[in-house]
Amino acid sequence: MIKNNLIKNTDHLQAEVRDRIGIIAFNRPEAKNALSDELTPELRRMLIEFESNREVRVIIITGNGGAFCSGGDVKSFASDSDPGLSNDLSLEQQIRKLQIGQEGVSLKIHEMPKPTIAVLPGAAAGAGMSIALACDIRIASEKAFLVPAFGGIGLSGDYGGSWSLSQLVGPSKAKDIYFSNRRIQAKDALDEGIINYVVSESDLESFALQKASEIAYFSPTALQYMKENHNRATSTNFKESLAMEADRMIRCFQTEDHKNAAKAFVEKKKPKFLGK
Protein backbone atom coordinates (compact mmCIF):
# COMPACT_ATOMS: atom_id res chain seq x y z
CA MET A 1 0.00 0.00 0.00
CA ILE A 2 2.87 2.38 0.77
CA LYS A 3 4.15 4.01 -2.39
CA ASN A 4 5.82 7.34 -1.69
CA ASN A 5 6.44 10.12 0.84
CA LEU A 6 8.05 7.62 3.18
CA ILE A 7 9.15 8.85 6.59
CA LYS A 8 10.33 5.39 7.66
CA ASN A 9 11.44 2.53 5.46
CA THR A 10 13.02 -0.53 7.04
CA ASP A 11 13.06 -4.21 6.17
CA HIS A 12 10.20 -4.75 8.62
CA LEU A 13 8.10 -1.56 8.67
CA GLN A 14 7.23 1.38 6.44
CA ALA A 15 5.40 4.59 7.32
CA GLU A 16 4.34 7.82 5.67
CA VAL A 17 2.07 10.83 6.17
CA ARG A 18 -0.27 11.52 3.28
CA ASP A 19 -2.96 14.22 3.34
CA ARG A 20 -3.39 14.19 7.14
CA ILE A 21 -3.36 10.39 7.18
CA GLY A 22 -0.56 8.52 8.93
CA ILE A 23 -0.01 5.16 7.25
CA ILE A 24 1.90 2.31 8.91
CA ALA A 25 2.59 -0.85 6.91
CA PHE A 26 4.05 -4.11 8.20
CA ASN A 27 6.78 -5.02 5.73
CA ARG A 28 7.77 -8.66 6.13
CA PRO A 29 5.82 -10.15 3.20
CA GLU A 30 8.05 -13.23 3.12
CA ALA A 31 6.83 -14.03 6.65
CA LYS A 32 3.25 -12.81 6.09
CA ASN A 33 4.22 -9.77 8.16
CA ALA A 34 4.82 -11.72 11.35
CA LEU A 35 5.88 -9.62 14.30
CA SER A 36 9.59 -9.52 15.01
CA ASP A 37 12.07 -8.07 17.47
CA GLU A 38 12.61 -5.26 14.94
CA LEU A 39 9.07 -4.72 13.67
CA THR A 40 7.26 -4.50 17.03
CA PRO A 41 9.47 -1.78 18.61
CA GLU A 42 9.30 0.21 15.36
CA LEU A 43 5.52 -0.09 15.42
CA ARG A 44 5.41 1.24 18.98
CA ARG A 45 7.66 4.16 18.04
CA MET A 46 5.60 5.08 14.99
CA LEU A 47 2.38 5.04 17.00
CA ILE A 48 3.93 7.47 19.48
CA GLU A 49 5.24 9.65 16.63
CA PHE A 50 1.90 9.78 14.83
CA GLU A 51 0.08 10.48 18.10
CA SER A 52 2.14 13.64 18.64
CA ASN A 53 2.22 14.71 14.97
CA ARG A 54 -0.39 17.47 14.58
CA GLU A 55 -0.44 16.92 10.83
CA VAL A 56 -1.83 13.40 11.36
CA ARG A 57 -5.55 13.17 12.09
CA VAL A 58 -6.24 9.52 11.22
CA ILE A 59 -3.98 6.46 11.33
CA ILE A 60 -4.12 3.50 8.94
CA ILE A 61 -2.39 0.25 9.86
CA THR A 62 -1.96 -2.27 7.04
CA GLY A 63 0.43 -4.85 5.62
CA ASN A 64 2.48 -5.15 2.45
CA GLY A 65 2.57 -8.21 0.21
CA GLY A 66 -0.97 -9.51 0.53
CA ALA A 67 -1.24 -10.12 4.28
CA PHE A 68 -2.09 -7.92 7.24
CA CYS A 69 -0.11 -9.64 10.01
CA SER A 70 0.25 -13.32 10.89
CA GLY A 71 1.02 -12.59 14.54
CA GLY A 72 4.05 -13.90 16.38
CA ASP A 73 6.86 -15.56 14.46
CA VAL A 74 6.16 -19.26 15.08
CA LYS A 75 9.57 -20.22 13.67
CA SER A 76 11.23 -18.33 16.52
CA PHE A 77 8.87 -20.02 19.01
CA ALA A 78 9.83 -23.44 17.65
CA SER A 79 13.56 -22.72 17.90
CA ASP A 80 13.29 -21.04 21.33
CA SER A 81 14.90 -17.95 19.77
CA ASP A 82 12.08 -15.53 20.53
CA PRO A 83 13.64 -12.75 22.63
CA GLY A 84 10.58 -12.55 24.86
CA LEU A 85 11.11 -16.16 25.92
CA SER A 86 14.75 -15.83 26.87
CA ASN A 87 16.03 -18.15 29.59
CA ASP A 88 17.92 -15.12 30.91
CA LEU A 89 14.60 -13.71 32.14
CA SER A 90 12.56 -15.00 35.06
CA LEU A 91 8.93 -16.00 34.52
CA GLU A 92 7.79 -12.72 36.07
CA GLN A 93 10.17 -10.73 33.85
CA GLN A 94 8.89 -12.49 30.73
CA ILE A 95 5.30 -11.74 31.74
CA ARG A 96 6.07 -8.08 32.40
CA LYS A 97 7.95 -7.75 29.10
CA LEU A 98 4.93 -9.02 27.18
CA GLN A 99 2.60 -6.76 29.18
CA ILE A 100 4.70 -3.72 28.27
CA GLY A 101 4.82 -4.79 24.62
CA GLN A 102 1.05 -5.20 24.47
CA GLU A 103 0.44 -1.83 26.12
CA GLY A 104 2.71 -0.13 23.58
CA VAL A 105 0.72 -1.55 20.66
CA SER A 106 -2.87 -2.65 21.32
CA LEU A 107 -3.55 -0.35 24.28
CA LYS A 108 -1.87 2.55 22.48
CA ILE A 109 -4.08 1.95 19.41
CA HIS A 110 -7.22 1.67 21.55
CA GLU A 111 -6.50 4.82 23.58
CA MET A 112 -4.97 6.78 20.70
CA PRO A 113 -6.66 10.23 20.57
CA LYS A 114 -7.01 9.78 16.81
CA PRO A 115 -9.19 7.34 14.85
CA THR A 116 -7.39 4.19 13.74
CA ILE A 117 -8.25 2.04 10.73
CA ALA A 118 -6.97 -1.49 10.12
CA VAL A 119 -6.80 -2.27 6.40
CA LEU A 120 -6.62 -6.02 5.78
CA PRO A 121 -5.38 -7.13 2.35
CA GLY A 122 -5.23 -10.73 3.59
CA ALA A 123 -4.66 -12.77 6.72
CA ALA A 124 -4.90 -11.26 10.20
CA ALA A 125 -3.91 -14.09 12.52
CA GLY A 126 -2.98 -14.43 16.18
CA ALA A 127 -1.62 -11.16 17.53
CA GLY A 128 -2.22 -9.72 14.05
CA MET A 129 -5.93 -10.33 14.50
CA SER A 130 -5.72 -8.76 17.96
CA ILE A 131 -4.03 -5.64 16.57
CA ALA A 132 -6.68 -5.32 13.86
CA LEU A 133 -9.44 -5.66 16.47
CA ALA A 134 -7.82 -2.94 18.62
CA CYS A 135 -8.40 -0.43 15.81
CA ASP A 136 -11.58 1.62 15.62
CA ILE A 137 -12.55 0.55 12.08
CA ARG A 138 -11.62 -2.45 9.95
CA ILE A 139 -11.66 -2.54 6.13
CA ALA A 140 -10.90 -5.84 4.40
CA SER A 141 -10.41 -7.15 0.91
CA GLU A 142 -12.65 -9.99 -0.23
CA LYS A 143 -9.82 -12.49 0.24
CA ALA A 144 -8.97 -11.40 3.79
CA PHE A 145 -9.70 -13.50 6.86
CA LEU A 146 -9.16 -13.45 10.61
CA VAL A 147 -8.17 -16.40 12.77
CA PRO A 148 -7.10 -16.51 16.43
CA ALA A 149 -4.46 -19.16 15.59
CA PHE A 150 -3.36 -19.46 19.23
CA GLY A 151 -5.05 -22.80 19.87
CA GLY A 152 -3.20 -24.37 16.95
CA ILE A 153 0.13 -23.86 18.70
CA GLY A 154 -0.99 -24.43 22.29
CA LEU A 155 -1.25 -20.77 23.32
CA SER A 156 -4.03 -18.79 25.00
CA GLY A 157 -3.86 -15.43 23.20
CA ASP A 158 -2.36 -11.97 23.63
CA TYR A 159 -2.48 -8.35 22.44
CA GLY A 160 -6.03 -7.90 23.69
CA GLY A 161 -7.90 -9.97 21.15
CA SER A 162 -10.09 -11.70 23.72
CA TRP A 163 -11.31 -8.34 25.11
CA SER A 164 -11.75 -6.64 21.73
CA LEU A 165 -13.58 -9.56 20.13
CA SER A 166 -15.89 -9.89 23.15
CA GLN A 167 -16.80 -6.21 22.79
CA LEU A 168 -17.74 -6.76 19.14
CA VAL A 169 -19.61 -10.07 19.19
CA GLY A 170 -20.24 -10.82 22.87
CA PRO A 171 -18.37 -13.14 25.27
CA SER A 172 -20.00 -16.43 24.25
CA LYS A 173 -19.38 -16.04 20.52
CA ALA A 174 -15.85 -14.74 21.15
CA LYS A 175 -15.07 -17.80 23.29
CA ASP A 176 -16.42 -20.11 20.59
CA ILE A 177 -14.18 -18.47 17.97
CA TYR A 178 -11.10 -18.81 20.20
CA PHE A 179 -11.88 -22.32 21.48
CA SER A 180 -12.47 -23.67 17.96
CA ASN A 181 -9.71 -21.59 16.32
CA ARG A 182 -12.29 -20.66 13.69
CA ARG A 183 -11.15 -18.92 10.53
CA ILE A 184 -13.52 -16.05 9.75
CA GLN A 185 -13.70 -15.08 6.10
CA ALA A 186 -14.14 -11.38 5.30
CA LYS A 187 -17.82 -11.68 4.30
CA ASP A 188 -18.67 -13.62 7.47
CA ALA A 189 -16.71 -11.10 9.57
CA LEU A 190 -18.78 -8.33 7.98
CA ASP A 191 -22.03 -10.15 8.79
CA GLU A 192 -20.91 -10.68 12.41
CA GLY A 193 -19.93 -7.04 12.91
CA ILE A 194 -16.19 -7.73 13.19
CA ILE A 195 -15.33 -5.99 9.92
CA ASN A 196 -16.88 -2.66 8.89
CA TYR A 197 -16.35 -2.85 5.12
CA VAL A 198 -15.39 -5.51 2.58
CA VAL A 199 -14.25 -4.37 -0.86
CA SER A 200 -12.50 -5.90 -3.83
CA GLU A 201 -8.76 -6.38 -3.66
CA SER A 202 -8.25 -3.82 -6.44
CA ASP A 203 -10.33 -1.19 -4.63
CA LEU A 204 -8.93 -1.73 -1.13
CA GLU A 205 -6.32 1.02 -1.11
CA SER A 206 -8.47 3.71 -2.73
CA PHE A 207 -11.48 2.87 -0.55
CA ALA A 208 -9.41 2.93 2.66
CA LEU A 209 -7.75 6.23 1.79
CA GLN A 210 -11.11 7.77 0.88
CA LYS A 211 -12.63 6.62 4.17
CA ALA A 212 -9.65 7.93 6.14
CA SER A 213 -9.77 11.22 4.24
CA GLU A 214 -13.47 11.65 5.03
CA ILE A 215 -12.73 11.25 8.74
CA ALA A 216 -9.59 13.40 8.65
CA TYR A 217 -11.63 16.33 7.32
CA PHE A 218 -13.34 16.89 10.68
CA SER A 219 -12.15 18.65 13.84
CA PRO A 220 -9.39 16.60 15.51
CA THR A 221 -10.62 17.73 18.93
CA ALA A 222 -14.15 16.53 18.21
CA LEU A 223 -12.82 13.22 16.85
CA GLN A 224 -10.68 12.71 19.95
CA TYR A 225 -13.60 13.33 22.28
CA MET A 226 -15.94 11.14 20.22
CA LYS A 227 -13.48 8.28 20.57
CA GLU A 228 -13.10 8.89 24.31
CA ASN A 229 -16.88 8.88 24.73
CA HIS A 230 -17.31 5.61 22.88
CA ASN A 231 -14.38 3.92 24.63
CA ARG A 232 -15.68 4.99 28.02
CA ALA A 233 -19.15 3.68 27.15
CA THR A 234 -17.85 0.08 27.20
CA SER A 235 -16.84 0.28 30.86
CA THR A 236 -19.19 2.69 32.59
CA ASN A 237 -22.89 3.31 33.24
CA PHE A 238 -25.25 5.67 31.44
CA LYS A 239 -25.03 8.46 34.03
CA GLU A 240 -21.22 8.51 33.89
CA SER A 241 -21.36 8.49 30.09
CA LEU A 242 -23.67 11.48 30.17
CA ALA A 243 -21.24 13.30 32.46
CA MET A 244 -18.35 12.56 30.09
CA GLU A 245 -20.34 13.70 27.07
CA ALA A 246 -21.28 16.96 28.77
CA ASP A 247 -17.66 17.65 29.72
CA ARG A 248 -16.35 16.97 26.22
CA MET A 249 -19.21 18.81 24.52
CA ILE A 250 -18.56 22.02 26.46
CA ARG A 251 -14.86 21.76 25.68
CA CYS A 252 -15.68 21.44 21.96
CA PHE A 253 -17.83 24.58 22.19
CA GLN A 254 -14.68 26.51 23.17
CA THR A 255 -12.73 25.57 20.02
CA GLU A 256 -12.26 27.80 17.00
CA ASP A 257 -13.20 24.82 14.83
CA HIS A 258 -16.70 24.73 16.33
CA LYS A 259 -17.18 28.50 16.19
CA ASN A 260 -16.03 28.71 12.57
CA ALA A 261 -18.11 25.67 11.57
CA ALA A 262 -21.25 27.08 13.19
CA LYS A 263 -20.74 30.35 11.34
CA ALA A 264 -20.15 28.49 8.07
CA PHE A 265 -23.35 26.48 8.62
CA VAL A 266 -25.39 29.64 8.98
CA GLU A 267 -23.73 31.10 5.87
CA LYS A 268 -24.32 27.80 3.99
CA LYS A 269 -20.59 27.33 3.40
CA LYS A 270 -18.44 24.25 3.86
CA PRO A 271 -16.47 24.60 7.11
CA LYS A 272 -12.71 24.25 7.37
CA PHE A 273 -11.40 22.49 10.45
CA LEU A 274 -7.95 23.75 11.36
CA GLY A 275 -7.42 21.84 14.57
CA LYS A 276 -7.75 24.87 16.83
Q: What pLDDT, on a 0 to 100 scale, did the predictor assign at position 89?
A: 85
Torsion angle in degrees (nearest 10) through CA of 94, 109, 62, 15: -90
CA dihedral sign of residues 25, 71, 227, 189: positive
Mean pLDDT of 61-86: 77
Q: What pLDDT, on a 0 to 100 scale, did the predictor assign at position 10?
A: 82
- pTM score, whole prediction: 0.93
Tell me the domains of the chain and their CATH numbers.
Answer: 6-216 (3.90.226.10), 220-266 (1.10.12.10)
pLDDT tens-digit series, residues 200-244: 999 999 999 999 999 999 999 999 999 999 999 999 999 999 999
Q: What pLDDT, on a 0 to 100 scale, did the predictor assign at position 83?
A: 52
Query: Residue 145's CB: how many other CB atoms inside 10 A?
Result: 21
Closest listed residue to residue 168, CA positions, set 207, 133, 117 = 133
